[in-house]
Structure 1
Amino acid sequence: MHDSHRIVSQVKDHDPVIDGPAPHCTEYEHIFFPRLSCLSKTHLEAWIFDAVDPTVDNVAATMTFFRDGTQAVLGKCPIRVTFRASLHDGSKVAGELFAKESIVEVNTETGKVVGKWIGEKKEGQNDAPSAQYEVLLDTSEAVVTLNLPTVQGTLKLRQKGKKDIDTSAESQLMGPGLSWVHAIPRAKAEVDFTFCQEDGQKRLQFNGYGGNDYCRSTESMPDMMEGTTYVRGHAGPYTFALFRLFSRLNPGKTYTRATLVKDDAVLCEMVSDDSVSLTEDYLAFRSTYSGKVKGNYSDHTSGYRVDFVSPARSKHWSFELNHQTLWWSMPTAAPPAKTGNNGFISAVVGGESGEPEHQGMATIVYIQMTALKSDYKGISNRQL
């Protein structure tokens, strides 16, 4: 529904999940407003927020808002929010909010888009559990607020206001079946969360760097991909964000959406198929194996090397990532399968060739799908 100033998109957990493609919502186009007008068994939308302290090991937070009809096929809630944090003492916090409804509203008078995922109010609770993002239309500020039984607090992201992001389907597409956008590639982050646990309260509070990505798929995960790698790294004035898709729809092909930022300026932005060019900007991405921290299952990498190359400008930026902690590890299939989802917090060293190196930290997610599509049972099903 909408009036002259407000446009609202609402989805409930018991709404019908259609078999075919989900129609696109054309009433208002913004990267934080849903593009899909309903739930579909093959479609999902997600908004990913993350932040890391670039000065110390092991401290980060990430949260994702889903409208994901593919989960309904697996008998799971299609409207959910996942949350993970790694604390200064080395402890890890994780969980999910299974929401009853998701309401996203654009208000052109206030200049904001607000998305709220609302859970079921239980006996003894003053309010229904909820998770919310609130973003200025120019994306200069985003605030995520969690009000859940086990976690309360905020993540604030601030960057210089940007021009409108291209919302055309063609510009967002990065590979068969998947659209991906680095909506906020680099922002200053303020994190303040309190966790209520059986052994008492803990708090995560830091200032660092973070960002947001948006994704939309027209295929379910086991149909679309053999695996993915997600990275957001910060080193001094540099931030690089990338998402790699190992395609199952186009076997043997790899597609990567990559963005390199220095301070507030975008230096490189591309979709790469791992090709090298003598004229166009390109990306080189390689796994490394000599470090001490590695993933579980069949993932044996200990880090990565990422190179952004601009032949036309005679520029080359290189970054080495070395895993410092295994943040989480979840199977994508029941044993004896050896595929899974590993999350890392990794050290970063690098910058422009010929200049002094910068140091920082990165958050990384690596997912390997099952060999047989029918073996896939989802990744996480824990509740906050």
Structure 2
Amino acid sequence: MLLKLLLPLALSSLSIASPMPGSNAYNYNCTIDRAVDGALVNGSVPIDTSPMTAWDGPKIAAFNNTAIEDWSFDAVSDDALAGITIAFSRGTIVGRPAAQRVYLFAAFPNGTTFSDITYFDFSTVKQCRGSTVGTWTNVTTGSTWTFNAATDLKSAKITIDSPRIKGVYTIKSKSPPFFPNGKGPGDIEGDVFFSPLLYWQETAAIGDVKATFTLDGSQLEFRGVGGRERNWMPIGWAQVSDGWHMSRGVAGPYIYVIWTLDSKIDGKKYDHFVLIKNKKIIFQSASSEMSDTEKYGVYNFPIEGLIKGPFTDNSTGQGADFINPVSRERWNFVMDNTQVVYSERTGKLTGYNGFVGKVSGGKVGGKRYEG
């Protein structure tokens, strides 16, 4: 199981690189979108919120000083003792205007961690009939980080060649892609809205992953499970959210994704609970409010375990219940942290943590599975 737990993230005023003139060029039936470090346009920019456009293609055609988009990947080893998270982004981070940035955080089985945040001269996203290829390039260091994602959303591959990191990550999805409202690709009723001014697509809730990396000379290699997703917004994370938690897990035939966020835009809490069994969504709810007629989820954070992050949140795992009061069905899952993958400070008491852990759960009254 993989858990990604994110707490308040403080960012500077945000900017995003704009594609250079001619960036939406055509190349043998492919389109190429190019974004350059430090390049901006003034004023508002269009944000793609259509459910019908390519999932891994750019959602922002030109960048002002606030818009941002991410491509995120993660994984945990089968024994839950190693983990990795990788994110490609276009946007200003910690005061760097219009950054083309990628980061990689990893945990080794012995408990040590690795982190690398790299800035690039430019990025390109090339969309062809069968795949979307994103490449972030730093000419000075000779670094290239690339993701190659199949158009059918069933697989993706990351290749990294840089002074500190060399390696490959592959994922083959075991779950259907979905929008926050539970609809899938090609469904005109799909809705990318997660919370005000924040958009989300879950490309792979869980997939089979193989990771093989050399990180500062140390070998990290494992098979396990992981996921990947997209986020984009017209303003930065710190302006959208006061804090959020996100997790994904697998136990037996069950896969779940949970994301909760406290919105800075309207002061409300936004919840999304999705449960998948045998590659079909069997539960979807955007509510954590108890009800006698509507599905809802319960998300809690136990503190009895040993592994926790260094910030104000002292939870050592997560618990989740998916409740259908009409059918009187309930599913329960518990995750215990086994490793800290990253802890990045954003303030004196705030930051964001990522964990991996072991999951157990299933339908209440039925068989309980270990993940």
Q: TM-score, normalised by structure 1?
A: 0.82
Alpha-carbon deviation of 1:2? 2.6
C-alpha contact (below 8 Å) 1:274/1:283 kept by paired residues: yes
In structure 1, which of residues 119, 123, 138 is the aligned counterpart of residue 138 of structure 2?
119
Secondary structure at 1:288 match in 2: coil
Residue of structure 1 equivalent to 2:272 = 257
In the alignment, is residue 351 of structure 1 matched against residue 351 of structure 2? no
In the alignment, is residue 139 of structure 1 matched against residue 153 of structure 2? yes
C-alpha contact (below 8 Å) 2:175/2:280 kept by paired residues: no
Alpha-carbon deviation of 1:308? 1.3
Residue of structure 2 equivalent to 1:165 = 185
Query: Which one scores higher on RCO, CA 8 angstroms, separation ≥ 6?
Result: 2
Cα distance in structure 1, aligned partners of 2:81 and 2:318: 18
Alpha-carbon deviation of 1:17? 4.6
Within 5 Å, which residues of 2 pair with 1:1-384?
A: 1-2=25-26, 5-24=29-48, 29-54=53-78, 56-68=79-91, 70-71=92-93, 74-76=95-97, 78-108=99-129, 111-122=130-141, 128-159=142-173, 165=185, 171-195=191-215, 197=216, 201-251=217-267, 253-270=268-285, 272-333=286-347, 337-360=348-371
Secondary structure at 2:238 match in 1: helix
After superposition, give the CA deviation of every residue in 1:171-214 in whole Å (9 maximum; x if it has no partner): 0101111111211111111111122x3xxx32121211111111
Change beyond 3 A, Cα 1:263–1:84: farther
Alpha-carbon deviation of 1:261? 2.0
Secondary structure at 1:285 match in 2: strand
After superposition, give the CA deviation of every residue in 1:112-140 in whole Å (9 maximum; x if it has no partner): 11111111234xxxxx2111111111111
Residue type matched to 1:165 in 2?
P
Alpha-carbon deviation of 1:32? 0.5
Change beyond 3 A, Cα 1:169–1:50: farther
Cα distance in structure 1, aligned partners of 2:237 and 2:28: 38
C-alpha contact (below 8 Å) 1:254/1:273 kept by paired residues: no
Cα distance in structure 2, aligned partners of 1:227 and 1:211: 21
Alpha-carbon deviation of 1:66? 0.4
Cα distance in structure 2, aligned partners of 1:82 and 1:190: 18
Aligned residues: 340
After superposition, give the CA deviation of every residue in 1:87-146 in whole Å (9 maximum; x if it has no partner): 1222211102211111111111xx111111111234xxxxx2111111111111111111
After superposition, give the CA deviation of every residue in 1:335-364 in whole Å (9 maximum; x if it has no partner): xx311112222222111112222222xxxx
Alpha-carbon deviation of 1:301? 1.7
C-alpha contact (below 8 Å) 1:30/1:167 kept by paired residues: no
Cα distance in structure 1, aligned partners of 2:89 and 2:233: 12
Secondary structure at 1:18 match in 2: coil
Residue of structure 2 equivalent to 1:366 = none
Cα distance in structure 2, aligned partners of 1:310 and 1:260: 12
Secondary structure at 2:88 match in 1: strand
Cα distance in structure 2, aligned partners of 1:52 and 1:192: 13
C-alpha contact (below 8 Å) 1:176/1:247 kept by paired residues: yes
Secondary structure at 1:71 match in 2: coil
Alpha-carbon deviation of 1:256? 2.2
Residue type matched to 2:321 in 1?
D
Cα distance in structure 2, aligned partners of 1:295 and 1:47: 24
C-alpha contact (below 8 Å) 1:254/1:274 kept by paired residues: no
Residue of structure 2 equivalent to 1:370 = none
Cα distance in structure 1, aligned partners of 2:291 and 2:309: 32
Q: Quick one: percent identity of the two aligned structures?
A: 23
Alpha-carbon deviation of 1:326? 2.7
Cα distance in structure 2, aligned partners of 1:100 and 1:46: 17
Unaligned runs of 5+ in 1: 123-127, 361-384
Secondary structure at 2:191 match in 1: helix
C-alpha contact (below 8 Å) 2:71/2:230 kept by paired residues: yes
Superposed CA RMSD in Å reads 2.4
